[in-house]
Structure 1
Amino acid sequence: MINNYRLNVKRSKRKTASIYIERDGSLSVLVPENTSEHEIEDIIKANEYKICKYQAKRELLNENAVKREHVNGQSYSYLGRNYYLQYSREVNDIEFKGRYFFAPEGSEAKMNDLLKEFYRKNGYKFIVPRVYKYAEMMGLKIEEVSILELKNRWASCSVKKPKVNFHWKIMMAPASVIDYLIVHELAHFKHKRHNAEFWNEVDKIMPSYQKQVDWLKEFGASLDI
């Protein structure tokens, strides 16, 4: 039995049906415009085993998610390495020196905003040059790169622009994982679906990509503040 899923049904001019489990646990069913409610139920039932298997795995991962409090000594990851929070009168914004994140004293209540801005700002410095480097390797031309808050995805892209977007949270992951996410999004400019051709494109640039996929499955839930 499928439990605790928010169901999002999206009808379009597509010819086939697809089912996706989003990172926030919601269930997205993409179907042709004339698909009936009964047919949608049949699609969900046909995928019940896969959904339940993913649900069990997701619950296990969430049990291992890190719960942080914005107090001195709390650890936060940046590019895969842990830094420890220390409030200070000597800084006006978040800075990291040695193994510490220094934050303005008295800013505990607004730490979420400070941290998000820190990761977003540094994301532009770190991610944007790498996007253009990999785009050149793949024979692509990207016009815009954004670092922002994405609801259920680590990254997304717009082929028409062409533009790529990345969640600020990925700045908590190791550089190799960020590189994989960049190559993954860029590969969508050549292959829309996750088919064999798509993964072959990723493999050309990053033969070890499966290690990064596995890392995200195991530790993705910890990429949060």
Structure 2
Amino acid sequence: MEIAGLEIDLVRQRMRSLRLTVYAGGRIRVAVPLHTPAAAIEAFVQARRAWIEQHQQRFAAREPAPTLRYETGDNVPFMGQAYVLEVRPAARPRVELQPDTQQLHLYAPADSTAAQREAILAAWYRQQLRQRLPGLLAKWEPVVGRTAAAWGIRQMRTRWGTCNIGAARIWLNLELIKRPLPCLEYVVVHELTHLHEWLHNARFWGLVDQFMPDWRTHRAELNRVLLTSSAAPDAD
């Protein structure tokens, strides 16, 4: 529907406050409590029009994620670096990083499909991220002053991370293993900070400033490239 001159996906649901999200491609979603008057919704959107346009422009300026065929010669990202993929035939699927030659060797059956090779690489990515997270939590939990009761890894299309406040559980996007380490650390700090404050309000960002003063640089680098070839992290 059109609200304040903008095309809006309006969702009414059981919630306490209005929530605005801008997606890649410019789509705008507004979630509101069930009985919110139309005038209140329009005022909410109009008050945030400049913010909406700013994020639409930011998404439009991002570089598209590379399209991979999972064949020899592809440039594969890992921890902020591009590695040349070399696919080698083998009965036992595995991935081996070759830092000296900036190559990533992917071993797969000779008749493997691109989807199968993608799954092998994704499993390796997950293993690499899982190995790093305990150390990062041990580093940043004392700084933030909050401890995650549990954590996990998900392949997410529109979030770098999420936090379940009640369970003190954080989830991190598998895509983070492709980005530089400071970007991963920023998301860890961001989600841990939600254990102090669940809203993205002035208090929240003030705490992030305190815990990681250079977070803006890391977030800008994180969001420089689209999350995937077809989606981007939401601004909310």
Question: TM-score range with shorter-chain normalisation?
Answer: 0.7 to 0.9
Q: Over aligned residues, Cα RMSD in angstroms?
A: 2.6
**Change in CA separation of 1:75 and 1:138 when aligned onto 2, cut-off 3 Å:** same
**Change in CA separation of 1:213 and 1:10 when aligned onto 2, cut-off 3 Å:** farther
**Which residue of 2 is the match for residue 166 of structure 1?**
172
**Which residue of 2 is the match for residue 201 of structure 1?**
207
Distance 1:123 1:101 in 2: 16
Distance 1:224 1:171 in 2: 16
Structure 1 unaligned blocks of 5 or more: none
Identity between Structure 1 and Structure 2 (%) = 21
Moved more, 178-187 or 136-145: 136-145
Q: Which runs of 4+ in 1 moved over 6 A?
A: none
* 1:68 to 2:72 alignment: no
**Which residue of 2 is the match for residue 19 of structure 1?**
20
* Count of aligned pairs between the two proteins: 220
**Which residue of 2 is the match for residue 114 of structure 1?**
120
Q: CA deviation at 1:39?
A: 4.5
Distance 2:215 2:229 in 1: 23
Q: CA deviation at 1:46?
A: 4.7
For the 8 Å contact 1:71–1:108, the answer to whether it is kept is no
Please list the CA deviations of residues 51-71 of structure 1 after superposition, one character each: whole Å capped at 9, or x if unmatched.
344323323325x43223222
Q: Secondary structure at the match of 1:129?
A: helix
Matches within 5 A, 1:143-158: 143-158=149-164
Amino acid aligned to 1:87: V
For the 8 Å contact 2:175–2:227, the answer to whether it is kept is no
**Structure-2-length-normalised TM-score:** 0.80
**Change in CA separation of 1:129 and 1:26 when aligned onto 2, cut-off 3 Å:** farther
**Structure-1-length-normalised TM-score:** 0.84
For the 8 Å contact 1:23–1:153, the answer to whether it is kept is no
